[in-house]
Amino acid sequence: MPELKAEEAAAASRQQQADQVARLPGQPPVGFRQFAGYVTVNESHGRALFYWFFEAADNAAHKPLVLWLNGGPGCSSIGFGEAEELGPFLTQKGAPELRLNKQSWNKEANLLFVESPVGVGFSYTNTSSDLKNLGDKITAEDSYIFLVNWFKRFPQFKSQEFYIAGESYAGHYVPQLSEKIFDENKLASRENFINLKGFLIGNALLDDDTDQTGMIDYAWDHAVISDRVYHDVKSSCNFSEETSTDACNAALGEYYAVYDIIDMYSLYAPICVDDYSTATSTKKPRFISGVAPKLSSRHSQWHRKPSGYDPCVSSYTAVYFNRRDVQEALHANASGKIPYKWTHCSDEFDEWMDSPASILPIIRKLVDGGIRVWVFSGDTDGRIPVTSTRYTLRKLGLKTVREWTPWYDHQQVGGWTIVYDQGLTFVTVRGAGHQVPTFAPRQARQLLRSFLLDKQLPSSPF
């Protein structure tokens, strides 16, 4: 047995060395290590997920590990999460191609990004039929297998506290993966046990009924839609049902038309009007049937990609990750045989097999099981607005332990927070859009720090 363990340790060390990223094109120098590569999740089908991992900027051996997931479904955690939100390196126009993120989350934790499911970003399958069978369930199962195998490659992080974070459709991914780990841990051997402590989700799709109801109420309350459109949607749509009427579809069509001219993900941010964006964007409109919420996802505007303060930043990211020298540095698409370009959101599948209407039963189960759960919301997001999340959390029926209270970012109010029974905490981030770390990077890092320490956010100026 000692010889076998020594062999396994040596193999893990060799794999780590092979995955270590020396330096990316246009990357500023840093003092921490980074790794990228593939972890196989299904040998017989040839399914492999691509990851990018950053050790904490200091004291990595004693910092927790955070996995970040973006949603979509089908959108890249590397393109959005790492390169435009909370990773150490952010893309930008021109040279140098990357800039250092002063508020990177790897200043608080070891930080892992995964492109999931297969068909997203650099993740791939050698079995084309896999792309016709994607859904919430297989995404959680593959992500769990990924983690078990990743920890075998990086055993030095296995004993550290593990957390999962994400936004948007990761409101499905994160709780579902957490539940999978929670259930498997009851049966897992010591070797496969994952030290899950909690999860953190932002502007998260959680419940079809309240998410869509809050979306319409928020748009009317923020003067985005007219009284007539508001009345038409409210009178003709039943968001607790999966089927829709012609009247509801017509009303929602008028509602979504507004977001052709303003940014749904951040009401007060500009839209991209740069020719550069048009030249690098995909011509095919992205549409996935069968995904939650069933009524809204029938409209192509629901699948529109978000952007940040620089509304054209996704165009720069797409150019960067499609460069061959960048892919070689990341050990991505090593064979050069992935038959599609890297994109923020996959065009490789157009149907989603399973997507429950509500994630609340999972959240209730995990809160009852002692898993720390924080939910946050940028309050200028129109996609999954703060109104939706407040309606959703009210459905849980938990008692309030600490009432609606302002929290502070230095001398300014950063937002508000409320604490429910069994530790579930809801936090708003003032002035932030759908991608909170993009719009409020310092506040988002403060939020992460407080979550990891299990401490309330500052309740007075500092």
For 265, other C-beta atoms within 10 Å of its C-beta total 26
Element (H, E) at 246: helix 246-257
Q: What are phi and psi of 69, to 5 degrees?
A: -125, 130
**Cα 312 to Cα 91, 94, 304, 383, 440, distances in angstroms:** 11, 12, 14, 19, 18
Instruction: Tell me what the pLDDT averaged over the chain comes to.
Output: 92
What pLDDT, in 10s, does the model give residues 422-433?
Answer: 889 999 999 999
What pLDDT, in 10s, does the model give residues 328-373?
Answer: 999 999 877 788 899 999 988 889 999 999 999 999 999 999 999 9
CB 330 within 8 A of CB 24: yes
What pLDDT, in 10s, does the model give residues 110-123?
Answer: 999 999 999 999 99
| 128 pLDDT tier (thresholds 50, 70, 90) | very high
Question: Between 170-185 and 136-153, two packed helices, what is the crossing angle to 10 degrees?
Answer: 60
**Distance in angstroms (rounded) separating the CA atoms of residues 418 and 401:** 8
What pLDDT, in 10s, does the model give residues 34-50?
Answer: 999 999 999 999 999 99
| pLDDT exceeds cutoff 90 at 287 | no
Q: SS3 string of 344-394?
A: CECCCCCECCCCCCECHHHHHHHHHCCCEEEEEEECCCCCCCHHHHHHHHH
CB 266 within 8 A of CB 381: yes
**Distance in angstroms (rounded) separating the CA atoms of residues 151 and 54:** 14
What pLDDT is stored for residue 273 in this prediction? 76
Q: Is the pTM of this model over 0.75?
A: yes
Catalytic residues: 168, 381, 434
Structure tokens at 268: 């007060």
